[in-house]
Amino acid sequence: MTTSGQNWRQLVSTQKNDLAAARQNIIEREQLAADWIERVTSHDLEAGIASCISRASDSLAIPMPKTIVITKAFRSFMEAMPAKDLLVDVALDGDDEGNTYLLVSPSV
């Protein structure tokens, strides 16, 4: 049988390991978000807008990983879009298959 001190030490060690894993997960999600934003801003967004213009469509849906929605990088990206005259939103589980999309439309 373990003592109260042993139980306490075991719980504290477990919590520290959980905290380290959570921090690593946050770092990985932020990097995934930064990579996705770089790809979208360098190609997908402009190509998508050009496609919408050619089809006379007023909206664009860009597939995105659901896990980046809560990142600082993604929040900053969303906040920067109105300066480009774009309205953006996120459709979590936006279709029957559970995919997530960044929804983009002109604000003018």
Number of Cβ within 10 Å of residue 55's Cβ equals 8
Q: What is the pLDDT of residue 95?
A: 83
Q: What is the pTM of this model?
A: 0.74
Distance CA(105)–CA(49), nearest Å, equals 9
Whole-number Cα distances in Å, 94 to 31, 34, 98, 106: 24, 22, 6, 20
Query: What phi, psi does 102 have (nearest 5°)?
Result: -90, 120
Q: What is the pLDDT of residue 30?
A: 96
User: For residue range 64-93, what is the model confidence (pLDDT) as tens digits?
Assistant: 999 999 999 999 999 999 998 999 999 998
Q: Average pLDDT, stretch 34-51?
A: 90
Q: What is the pLDDT of residue 97?
A: 87
User: What ranges do the domains of the chain cover?
Assistant: 4-106
Q: Average pLDDT, stretch 33-59?
A: 90
Strand partners, 61: 103
